[in-house]
């Protein structure tokens, strides 16, 4: 099978991870890059030895010569770039947040479906080694049927130095980080029927909310809490770990700080270390996220090669984005939101 050729749009902060990961993916390589900022284009082109460089995505699509596009820009450009990919019949990966609104996201999914073009959202947190480990234990039946969960991401890490735009938007933590935590909650406990949320802004130097507490009623009958904060000062900084608590009819799971997994079942307690690998190009504490970037990009290459659906397809991601929209609606109105009514 010939190696898939990809083109990447957006050579910013996070794209460096994606470019490194593409070098490790089996069966795919990046052959062209695009950024409207000539400095970023040169930096990434030189670092990764990519000759084909474009300042304009339309020009890159017009030249063609690639089997898929990896959109690594910020959200404002996602809809236009996904539409461009669909009009050229080029399968697309789009970074999270998939779209600014659920309406935009639905239009993007519909257009790609009409064009017969695969679409995956780069929703990588469910691909993290510790999250996959929790899912594997749950699937094994070791704790029986889960009836309660907590998905928690509390940190005081300075994300604004690398991503200054995060301080400037009306929306912050739910749209940027909570979106991953909500996706993990869906991945582990299934789809959500209703949602209630409360938010706060603690850091006066930013515009959006930096704390959110969200209550989810899952369709399975389980209840969970998603709590996220970038205003939590802790003795050992946990960034970027998602901590999980699950209680089931036969036992419990605790994924705690330091990638420690404790499973309590009918036969006793099992403790294991589910730390991510430190890839050759990765650096702590980002290595957990970096490893999941490689995992999701390998998944894309494998699914594109065998023609099957990805785990975080555009259609799947509508259900995660609906939770983001619902969380903002609920925090503003004080009411519980019916997720089915949004989809």
Residue range at the interface with ligand 89Y (CB under 6 A); choices 47-55, 172-180, 200-208, 215-223: 172-180
x/- map, 137-176, ligand NAD, by CB under 6 A: --------------------------x------------x
Q: What are the residues whose beta carbons fall under 8 Å from the beta carbon of 306, sequence distance 6 or more?
A: none
- Which one of ligand 89Y, ligand NAD, none is in contact with 159 (Cβ closer than 5 to 8 A by kind)? ligand 89Y
Query: Does 40 participate in binding ligand NAD (rule CB under 6 A)?
Result: yes
Query: Does 159 participate in binding ligand 89Y (rule CB under 6 A)?
Result: yes
Does residue 240 have a cis bond before it (omega within 30 degrees)? yes
Query: Does 208 participate in binding ligand 89Y (rule CB under 6 A)?
Result: no
- Which one of ligand NAD, ligand 89Y, none is in contact with 34 (Cβ closer than 5 to 8 A by kind)? ligand NAD
What distance in Å separates the CA atoms of residue 131 and residue 156, rounded to the nearest whole number?
21
Candidate residues 10, 12, 240, 265; the one interacting with ligand 89Y per rule CB under 6 A: 240
Taking the least distance from each CB to ligand 89Y, the nearer of 176 and 325 is: 176
Residue range at the interface with ligand 89Y (CB under 6 A); choices 27-35, 175-183, 190-198, 251-259: 175-183
Q: For residues 160 and 166, is the Cβ–Cβ distance under 8 A? A: yes
Query: Does 15 participate in binding ligand NAD (rule CB under 6 A)?
Result: yes
For residue 95, which of 126, 123, 67, 58 has the smallest C-alpha distance? Answer: 123
Taking the least distance from each CB to ligand 89Y, the nearer of 29 and 163 is: 163
Which residues is 224 bridged to in the sheet? Answer: 149, 216
Which ranges of 274-313 would DSSP assign to H, the alpha helix?
A: 287-306
What distance in Å separates the CA atoms of residue 265 and residue 203, rounded to the nearest whole number?
41
Q: Binding-site residue total for ligand NAD (CB under 6 A)?
A: 25
Query: Does 210 participate in binding ligand 89Y (rule CB under 6 A)?
Result: no
Q: How many C-beta neighbours within 10 Å does residue 117 have? A: 19
Shortest approach of ligand 89Y to residue 279 CB, angstroms?
A: 17
For residue 95, which of 189, 12, 219 has the smallest C-alpha distance? Answer: 12
What distance in Å separates the CA atoms of residue 228 and residue 12, rounded to the nearest whole number?
25
Candidate residues 8, 30, 75, 294; the one interacting with ligand NAD per rule CB under 6 A: 75
What distance in Å separates the CA atoms of residue 272 and residue 253, rounded to the nearest whole number?
11
Query: Does 176 participate in binding ligand 89Y (rule CB under 6 A)?
Result: yes
- Rg over CA atoms, the chain: 20
Candidate residues 4, 177, 253, 255; the one interacting with ligand 89Y per rule CB under 6 A: 177
Q: What are the residues whose beta carbons fall under 8 Å from the beta carbon of 202, sequence distance 6 or more?
A: 210, 211, 229, 231
For residue 113, which of 134, 137, 92, 136 has the smallest C-alpha distance? Answer: 92
What distance in Å separates the CA atoms of residue 153 and residue 181, rounded to the nearest whole number?
7
Residue range at the interface with ligand 89Y (CB under 6 A); choices 60-68, 78-86, 130-138, 174-182: 174-182
Query: Does 13 participate in binding ligand NAD (rule CB under 6 A)?
Result: yes
Taking the least distance from each CB to ligand 89Y, the nearer of 130 and 248 is: 130
Burial category of 10 from C-beta neighbours within 10 Å (exposed 0-12, middle 13-18, buried 19 and up): buried
Candidate residues 3, 29, 31, 36; the one interacting with ligand NAD per rule CB under 6 A: 36
Q: How many C-beta neighbours within 10 Å does residue 245 have? A: 16
Residue range at the interface with ligand 89Y (CB under 6 A); choices 3-11, 63-71, 173-181, 329-337: 173-181
Shortest approach of ligand NAD to residue 14 CB, angstroms?
A: 4
The residue to which tokens 């739910």 are assigned: 174
Residue range at the interface with ligand 89Y (CB under 6 A); choices 34-42, 108-116, 176-184, 271-279: 176-184
Would strands 28-34 and 4-9 be described as parallel, antiparallel, or unpaired?
Answer: parallel
Binding site for ligand NAD (CB under 6 A): 9-15, 34-37, 40, 57, 72-75, 77, 95-96, 122, 124, 163, 176, 289
Binding site for ligand 89Y (CB under 6 A): 159, 163, 176-177, 180, 240
């Amino acid at each position: 099978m010939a190696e898939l050729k990809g083109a990447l749009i957006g050579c910013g902060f996070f794209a460096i991870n994606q470019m490194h990961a593409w070098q490790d993916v089996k069966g795919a390589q990046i052959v062209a890059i695009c950024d409207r900022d000539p400095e970023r284009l040169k930096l990434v082109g030189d670092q990764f030895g990519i000759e084909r460089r474009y300042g304009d995505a339309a020009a890159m699509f017009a030249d063609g010569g690639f089997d898929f596009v990896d959109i690594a820009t910020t959200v404002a450009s996602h809809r236009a770039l996904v539409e461009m990919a669909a009009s050229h019949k080029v399968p697309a990966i789009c970074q999270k947040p998939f779209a600014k609104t659920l309406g935009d996201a639905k239009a993007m999914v519909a257009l790609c479906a009409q064009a017969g073009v695969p679409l995956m959202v780069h929703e990588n947190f469910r691909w993290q080694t510790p999250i996959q480990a929790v899912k594997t234990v749950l699937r094994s039946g070791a704790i029986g049927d889960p009836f309660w969960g907590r998905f928690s991401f509390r940190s005081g890490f300075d994300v604004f130095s690398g991503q200054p735009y995060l301080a400037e938007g009306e929306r912050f933590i739910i749209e940027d980080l909570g979106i991953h935590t909500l996706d993990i909650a869906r991945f582990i406990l299934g789809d959500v029927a209703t949602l209630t949320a409360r938010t706060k802004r603690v850091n006066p130097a930013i515009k959006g909310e930096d704390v959110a507490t969200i209550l989810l009623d899952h369709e399975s009958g389980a209840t969970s809490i998603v709590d996220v904060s970038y205003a939590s000062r802790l003795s050992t900084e946990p960034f970027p770990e998602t901590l999980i608590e699950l209680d089931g009819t036969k036992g419990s799971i605790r994924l705690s700080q330091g990638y420690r997994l404790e499973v309590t079942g009918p036969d006793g307690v099992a403790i294991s270390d589910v730390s991510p690998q430190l890839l050759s190009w990765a650096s702590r504490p980002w290595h957990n996220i970096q490893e999941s970037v490689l995992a999701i990009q390998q998944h894309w290459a494998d699914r594109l090669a065998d023609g099957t659906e990805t785990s975080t397809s555009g259609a799947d991601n509508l259900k995660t984005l609906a939770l983001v929209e619902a969380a903002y609606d609920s925090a503003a109105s004080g009411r519980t939101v019916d997720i089915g009514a949004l989809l």
